[in-house]
Amino acid sequence: MTSRSPLRVERDGATAILTLDRGDVLNAFDEALTEALNAAVANAARDQAIRAVVITGAGRAFSAGQDLDDRLATIERGGDLHLGDELRRRYHPVIAAIRAMRKPVIAAVNGVAAGAGLGLAIACDVRLAATSATFRAAWGRVGLVPDAGSAFFLPRLVGWGKALDMILTGEPVDAAEALRIGLVTRVWPDAEFPAKSREYAAMLANGATEAFALTKQGLNAAMARGFEDFLEVEAELQDRAGRTADYARGVRAFASKQPPDFEGR
Protein backbone atom coordinates (compact mmCIF):
# COMPACT_ATOMS: atom_id res chain seq x y z
CA MET A 1 0.00 0.00 0.00
CA THR A 2 1.39 3.45 -0.89
CA SER A 3 1.01 6.19 1.71
CA ARG A 4 -0.64 9.49 0.78
CA SER A 5 1.75 12.40 0.24
CA PRO A 6 1.56 15.11 2.94
CA LEU A 7 2.15 17.74 0.23
CA ARG A 8 -0.01 18.30 -2.86
CA VAL A 9 1.86 19.75 -5.82
CA GLU A 10 -0.22 21.26 -8.65
CA ARG A 11 0.32 23.52 -11.64
CA ASP A 12 -1.94 26.41 -12.59
CA GLY A 13 -0.41 27.85 -15.77
CA ALA A 14 3.05 29.09 -14.81
CA THR A 15 2.26 28.91 -11.07
CA ALA A 16 3.20 25.95 -8.86
CA ILE A 17 0.80 25.47 -5.95
CA LEU A 18 2.19 23.56 -2.97
CA THR A 19 -0.52 22.57 -0.45
CA LEU A 20 0.53 21.36 3.01
CA ASP A 21 -1.86 18.47 3.43
CA ARG A 22 -2.06 17.03 6.94
CA GLY A 23 -5.39 18.60 7.79
CA ASP A 24 -6.13 16.41 10.82
CA VAL A 25 -3.13 17.93 12.67
CA LEU A 26 -3.49 21.43 11.17
CA ASN A 27 -0.71 20.68 8.66
CA ALA A 28 1.91 20.29 11.38
CA PHE A 29 5.36 19.50 9.99
CA ASP A 30 6.50 15.92 10.46
CA GLU A 31 9.57 14.44 8.80
CA ALA A 32 7.68 13.45 5.62
CA LEU A 33 6.12 16.90 5.14
CA THR A 34 9.35 18.87 5.54
CA GLU A 35 11.13 16.42 3.24
CA ALA A 36 8.41 16.78 0.59
CA LEU A 37 8.34 20.57 0.96
CA ASN A 38 12.11 20.86 0.59
CA ALA A 39 11.99 18.71 -2.55
CA ALA A 40 9.04 20.59 -4.08
CA VAL A 41 10.59 24.01 -3.44
CA ALA A 42 13.88 22.84 -4.99
CA ASN A 43 12.00 21.49 -8.05
CA ALA A 44 10.05 24.72 -8.45
CA ALA A 45 13.30 26.70 -8.28
CA ARG A 46 14.83 24.55 -11.06
CA ASP A 47 11.81 24.44 -13.39
CA GLN A 48 12.08 27.37 -15.80
CA ALA A 49 8.42 26.99 -16.82
CA ILE A 50 7.35 27.90 -13.27
CA ARG A 51 7.35 31.66 -12.72
CA ALA A 52 5.59 31.92 -9.33
CA VAL A 53 5.06 29.59 -6.37
CA VAL A 54 2.16 29.53 -3.91
CA ILE A 55 2.40 27.76 -0.56
CA THR A 56 -0.92 27.16 1.19
CA GLY A 57 -2.60 24.71 3.55
CA ALA A 58 -5.40 22.15 3.25
CA GLY A 59 -8.44 22.47 5.50
CA ARG A 60 -8.67 25.11 8.22
CA ALA A 61 -4.94 25.75 8.78
CA PHE A 62 -1.90 27.02 6.96
CA SER A 63 0.38 25.15 9.40
CA ALA A 64 0.55 24.74 13.19
CA GLY A 65 4.35 24.37 13.02
CA GLN A 66 6.46 21.43 14.08
CA ASP A 67 4.52 18.22 14.81
CA LEU A 68 4.59 18.16 18.61
CA ASP A 69 3.36 14.55 18.78
CA ASP A 70 6.72 13.54 17.29
CA ARG A 71 8.53 15.59 19.93
CA LEU A 72 6.33 14.21 22.74
CA ALA A 73 7.16 10.67 21.68
CA THR A 74 10.90 11.41 21.95
CA ILE A 75 10.50 13.20 25.30
CA GLU A 76 8.44 10.34 26.79
CA ARG A 77 10.96 7.70 25.82
CA GLY A 78 13.76 9.84 27.29
CA GLY A 79 15.34 10.39 23.87
CA ASP A 80 17.95 13.03 23.14
CA LEU A 81 16.55 16.07 21.33
CA HIS A 82 18.85 18.18 19.14
CA LEU A 83 16.46 20.76 17.75
CA GLY A 84 19.32 22.83 16.29
CA ASP A 85 20.18 19.88 14.06
CA GLU A 86 16.51 19.49 13.14
CA LEU A 87 16.42 23.14 12.09
CA ARG A 88 19.63 22.85 10.05
CA ARG A 89 18.45 19.69 8.31
CA ARG A 90 14.71 20.25 7.76
CA TYR A 91 13.78 23.93 8.09
CA HIS A 92 16.77 26.09 7.17
CA PRO A 93 17.21 24.62 3.68
CA VAL A 94 13.62 25.40 2.66
CA ILE A 95 13.72 28.91 4.13
CA ALA A 96 17.04 29.62 2.40
CA ALA A 97 15.71 28.18 -0.88
CA ILE A 98 12.65 30.46 -0.75
CA ARG A 99 14.80 33.54 -0.18
CA ALA A 100 17.18 32.55 -2.98
CA MET A 101 14.48 31.46 -5.45
CA ARG A 102 14.57 33.50 -8.65
CA LYS A 103 10.78 33.87 -8.77
CA PRO A 104 8.14 35.16 -6.35
CA VAL A 105 7.04 32.83 -3.55
CA ILE A 106 3.62 33.61 -2.09
CA ALA A 107 2.27 32.37 1.24
CA ALA A 108 -1.51 32.04 0.83
CA VAL A 109 -2.38 31.86 4.52
CA ASN A 110 -5.79 30.21 4.59
CA GLY A 111 -5.99 29.60 8.36
CA VAL A 112 -3.82 29.45 11.45
CA ALA A 113 -0.05 29.89 10.97
CA ALA A 114 1.81 29.04 14.19
CA GLY A 115 5.43 28.43 15.17
CA ALA A 116 7.43 27.18 12.21
CA GLY A 117 4.23 27.60 10.13
CA LEU A 118 4.47 31.34 10.78
CA GLY A 119 8.20 31.12 10.07
CA LEU A 120 7.51 29.59 6.67
CA ALA A 121 4.93 32.28 5.83
CA ILE A 122 7.21 35.18 6.75
CA ALA A 123 10.14 33.77 4.77
CA CYS A 124 7.98 34.05 1.61
CA ASP A 125 8.06 37.17 -0.55
CA VAL A 126 4.38 38.00 -0.13
CA ARG A 127 1.68 36.99 2.36
CA LEU A 128 -1.99 36.88 1.42
CA ALA A 129 -4.57 36.04 4.09
CA ALA A 130 -8.10 34.68 4.24
CA THR A 131 -10.30 36.54 6.73
CA SER A 132 -10.20 33.59 9.14
CA ALA A 133 -6.37 33.37 9.13
CA THR A 134 -4.53 33.90 12.40
CA PHE A 135 -0.84 34.29 13.14
CA ARG A 136 0.68 32.89 16.34
CA ALA A 137 4.30 33.28 17.38
CA ALA A 138 3.64 30.24 19.54
CA TRP A 139 7.18 29.20 20.48
CA GLY A 140 7.25 30.71 23.99
CA ARG A 141 4.11 28.77 24.94
CA VAL A 142 5.97 25.50 24.49
CA GLY A 143 9.28 26.80 25.87
CA LEU A 144 11.13 27.39 22.61
CA VAL A 145 12.70 30.38 20.86
CA PRO A 146 11.51 31.67 17.46
CA ASP A 147 12.90 29.60 14.62
CA ALA A 148 12.73 28.98 10.87
CA GLY A 149 14.21 32.47 10.42
CA SER A 150 11.38 34.15 12.31
CA ALA A 151 13.45 36.40 14.60
CA PHE A 152 15.14 37.67 11.43
CA PHE A 153 12.02 38.33 9.35
CA LEU A 154 9.29 39.21 11.88
CA PRO A 155 10.83 42.45 13.27
CA ARG A 156 11.62 43.54 9.71
CA LEU A 157 7.98 43.07 8.73
CA VAL A 158 6.07 44.39 11.75
CA GLY A 159 8.69 46.36 13.72
CA TRP A 160 10.75 45.39 16.78
CA GLY A 161 8.09 46.17 19.40
CA LYS A 162 5.19 44.34 17.76
CA ALA A 163 7.43 41.35 16.97
CA LEU A 164 8.48 41.06 20.61
CA ASP A 165 4.86 41.44 21.77
CA MET A 166 3.79 38.62 19.43
CA ILE A 167 6.73 36.40 20.44
CA LEU A 168 6.54 36.97 24.21
CA THR A 169 2.76 36.67 24.54
CA GLY A 170 2.08 34.09 21.84
CA GLU A 171 -1.32 35.74 21.39
CA PRO A 172 -2.99 35.34 18.00
CA VAL A 173 -3.02 38.20 15.49
CA ASP A 174 -6.09 38.09 13.24
CA ALA A 175 -6.12 38.88 9.52
CA ALA A 176 -7.37 42.46 9.94
CA GLU A 177 -4.61 43.23 12.45
CA ALA A 178 -2.06 41.42 10.27
CA LEU A 179 -3.02 43.71 7.37
CA ARG A 180 -2.79 46.81 9.59
CA ILE A 181 0.72 45.96 10.85
CA GLY A 182 2.10 44.86 7.48
CA LEU A 183 2.35 41.15 8.26
CA VAL A 184 0.16 40.49 5.20
CA THR A 185 -0.59 42.72 2.24
CA ARG A 186 -4.00 41.44 1.03
CA VAL A 187 -6.98 39.92 2.81
CA TRP A 188 -9.94 38.27 1.07
CA PRO A 189 -13.04 36.52 2.43
CA ASP A 190 -12.54 32.78 3.00
CA ALA A 191 -14.90 31.75 0.18
CA GLU A 192 -13.05 33.89 -2.39
CA PHE A 193 -9.57 33.23 -1.05
CA PRO A 194 -8.42 30.29 -3.22
CA ALA A 195 -9.51 32.00 -6.46
CA LYS A 196 -8.18 35.43 -5.47
CA SER A 197 -4.81 34.08 -4.39
CA ARG A 198 -4.45 32.09 -7.63
CA GLU A 199 -5.33 35.24 -9.59
CA TYR A 200 -2.71 37.21 -7.66
CA ALA A 201 -0.10 34.50 -8.28
CA ALA A 202 -0.96 34.44 -12.01
CA MET A 203 -0.42 38.20 -12.15
CA LEU A 204 3.10 37.74 -10.73
CA ALA A 205 3.75 34.66 -12.90
CA ASN A 206 3.05 36.81 -15.97
CA GLY A 207 5.45 39.50 -14.77
CA ALA A 208 9.06 40.24 -15.69
CA THR A 209 10.43 37.14 -13.92
CA GLU A 210 14.11 37.92 -14.43
CA ALA A 211 13.58 41.45 -13.08
CA PHE A 212 11.78 39.90 -10.07
CA ALA A 213 14.77 37.59 -9.54
CA LEU A 214 17.12 40.56 -9.58
CA THR A 215 14.72 42.46 -7.30
CA LYS A 216 14.86 39.65 -4.71
CA GLN A 217 18.64 39.61 -5.01
CA GLY A 218 18.68 43.38 -4.35
CA LEU A 219 16.37 43.15 -1.34
CA ASN A 220 18.42 40.27 0.10
CA ALA A 221 21.57 42.38 -0.38
CA ALA A 222 19.87 45.39 1.25
CA MET A 223 19.39 43.30 4.42
CA ALA A 224 23.00 42.16 4.48
CA ARG A 225 25.10 45.06 3.17
CA GLY A 226 26.04 48.57 4.22
CA PHE A 227 24.53 51.47 2.23
CA GLU A 228 27.52 52.25 -0.04
CA ASP A 229 27.98 48.58 -0.87
CA PHE A 230 24.30 48.21 -1.52
CA LEU A 231 24.26 51.08 -4.04
CA GLU A 232 26.88 49.24 -6.09
CA VAL A 233 24.80 46.03 -5.95
CA GLU A 234 21.76 48.04 -7.08
CA ALA A 235 23.69 49.47 -10.05
CA GLU A 236 24.86 45.98 -11.09
CA LEU A 237 21.35 44.54 -10.83
CA GLN A 238 19.80 47.38 -12.83
CA ASP A 239 22.54 46.94 -15.40
CA ARG A 240 21.44 43.32 -15.81
CA ALA A 241 17.72 44.17 -15.78
CA GLY A 242 18.28 46.82 -18.46
CA ARG A 243 19.69 44.15 -20.79
CA THR A 244 16.77 41.71 -20.47
CA ALA A 245 14.39 41.15 -23.37
CA ASP A 246 11.50 41.93 -21.00
CA TYR A 247 12.84 45.44 -20.39
CA ALA A 248 12.76 46.10 -24.15
CA ARG A 249 9.23 44.65 -24.25
CA GLY A 250 8.18 46.81 -21.30
CA VAL A 251 9.48 50.01 -22.83
CA ARG A 252 7.93 49.24 -26.24
CA ALA A 253 4.62 48.38 -24.58
CA PHE A 254 4.69 51.66 -22.69
CA ALA A 255 5.36 53.62 -25.88
CA SER A 256 2.55 51.87 -27.75
CA LYS A 257 0.16 52.25 -24.76
CA GLN A 258 -0.36 48.46 -24.62
CA PRO A 259 0.06 46.13 -21.63
CA PRO A 260 3.46 44.39 -21.74
CA ASP A 261 3.63 40.72 -22.70
CA PHE A 262 6.56 39.55 -20.57
CA GLU A 263 8.32 36.26 -21.27
CA GLY A 264 10.27 36.18 -18.02
CA ARG A 265 13.75 36.76 -19.39
Nearer to ligand T3D, 140 or 155 (CB): 140
**Contact pick of 42, 43, 71, 217 for ligand T3D (by CB under 6 A):** 71
Look at the alpha carbons of 116, 218, 130, 6 in this order and tell me if their dihedral is positive or negative: negative
**Contact pick of 16, 64, 95, 128 for ligand T3D (by CB under 6 A):** 64
Q: Does 128 bind ligand T3D (CB under 6 A)?
A: no
d(CA 130, CA 176): 10
Give the contact letters, 14-53, x = binds to ligand T3D (CB under 6 A), - = no: -----------xx-x-------------------------
What are the DSSP calls for 68-115, one per residue? HHHHHHHHHTTPPP-HHHHIIIIIHHHHHHHHH-SS-EEEEE-SEEET
Beta strand segments in the chain, E: 7-12, 15-20, 52-57, 61-63, 105-109, 112-114, 126-130, 134-136, 173-174, 186-188
Min dist. Cβ of residue 253 to ligand T3D (A): 45
Of 176, 187, 145, nearest to 163 by C-alpha is 145
Residues between 134 and 173 that touch ligand T3D (CB under 6 A): 136, 138-139, 141-142, 144, 147
Q: Does 210 bind ligand T3D (CB under 6 A)?
A: no
**Contact pick of 68, 151, 164, 181 for ligand T3D (by CB under 6 A):** 68
Fill in the amino acid letter for 160.
W
Which spans of this chain sit near ligand T3D (rule: CB under 6 A)? 25-26, 28, 64-69, 71, 83, 86-87, 112, 114-116, 136, 138-139, 141-142, 144, 147
